[in-house]
Structure 1
Amino acid sequence: MTKSILVVTDEHDNLPIEKAHTVTSYLDAKLEFVRFLNKLDTEDEQQRQQIIDENKQILQHDISKICGEDANVTCNVVATDDIAGWILSACKENKFDFVVKASNQTDSLTHTPLDSLLMQKLPCPIFLASNRKWKSKKVILAAVDLSTNDKLKKDYNNIVLKWIALLSSVFDYEAHIIYSIPISRPLLEFDVIDKLEVQKSKQPEAEKKLSSLTSNFNLGDAHTHITVGTVEKNIPSLANKLKADLVIMGCVGQKGLKDFLFGKTAENTLDKLRTDLLICRGQRSKIRK
């Protein structure tokens, strides 16, 4: 079934167009590109429309240059100061399979309010494109949580693994899956617990669970990693070691960033990653077959 993808472009950078084209080049996908004009300081309707039309021509040129003339795409330029509201409404009405946009991080290395809001509220996965170019042999890292039988956590595990299975099947990806055995921060900071002893005692059961989970998605060839400690350190550390091009993480709940993935630590995890990110909704997002 054709995937429907919303691509949020940037007037100063064609990175989202390039990444969207790369990700969807082997998929049956329809791309809808949108560029926003905020703070459009004119009340003259004719002048306003002229500015929109000029920007649409520029966008069409950028898309054709990257995607080709025959690509299955549409494009739109929208004048609004409520970018998040427009994106959320469009996703609700059009039921996009996922959204692609540039990852906007501030000088303090935290995500901007727009990125954070979209990660919290979107009913579908969001692909946040970093400024890194992909290697010829791409590496993809997916994070799962085996520490609980909570239904929503299981749901996002399944969504994450569906995405890595899909992407690995159409691209020449080297797939890696990480599970971090949790230990409370105070125990680690005060050396109350031995990480090696925890890994020795809990790794066999974790490996068994992870093997069972991956076998359901034909991911037997994926490299698996069982780590111990805080996920905000382990995921970025492994991503950096592997030189990962893409990290896939799940998102459960709808109460804000504190409900991301493994709880309150996840925002720190996201802010330490410099790869492309695919954030999956664990409750409502579905991959259409």
Structure 2
Amino acid sequence: LEDILQIFEAAVKAGAERLVIADTVGFLRPLSMRYLISHVKDGLSQKFGKEIPLSVHCHNDFGLATANTLAAVEEGVSYVHTCVAGFGERAGLAPMEEVVLALELLYDIDTGLDLKKLYRLGQLVEKSFALPIQYHKPIIGENAFSYEMDEHVHGMLAHPLIYEPFPPEIIERETTFYIGKQSGRHLVENRLASAGIKATQGQIDEIVRRIKNLQESQDKGGTQMTFYQIKKLMRDLRKGLTEEEFWKIVEQVTKQKPKISLKPETEKLLEASKQ
């Protein structure tokens, strides 16, 4: 900690107006973050007789980026680094939408952002990066406000706050109920009533049974194959240049061949590219 303070003190003396505390490998815990921030703040205040603005940059390697960012805010950090959906190197950074909603709704801090645009922003980033947002991602994931299990549907129909921490309309989303193998009579009863259909309990039970049977009888082989094809495509999009593409550029620029052993197929492709 003393080494960190010395570096920060030198930075302030050199003219730095804001200092960044970076948990680059994402291994801090919230309590550790609070201790670190407190120590740095007190040390700088004693040295310079005033508070030096701090910011925090938390990686998500242990899934603690949001928690650590909020812990830093609790200790007085005024600036936080985030990324939409947490996209970033390795496991990413603190997701902007999580930090923003937590600050607004849990800490009553006005971030100045338009919350209604958070979900649309996530969709735009997903499309621009050609990188799907995790299905169960909090706040902007497609499943964040979706229900199928009968007990959850029952609770939601009775009172949404039983299972939703905030109204999805805040971010221009809506609650979705899926009819599937985990559905039960409550959703069926609700849908029938909304359509003006009266049914006996026996008929409702039969509808539920047929829904489950239909779902369980469907062939999942095609769906799984499509999933793996999409997954492979995403890997191909993310892996960057091939070996032959890289060494071709190197040879074009330096007029030199690599003095390392290349895979036979790479050598063949490099030779073919010259013809």
TM-score, normalised on structure 1? 0.25
**Structure exhibiting the larger radius of gyration computed from Cα positions:** 2
More helix per residue? 2
Structure with bigger RCO (C-alpha 8 Å, 6+ apart): 1
TM-score, normalised on structure 2? 0.26
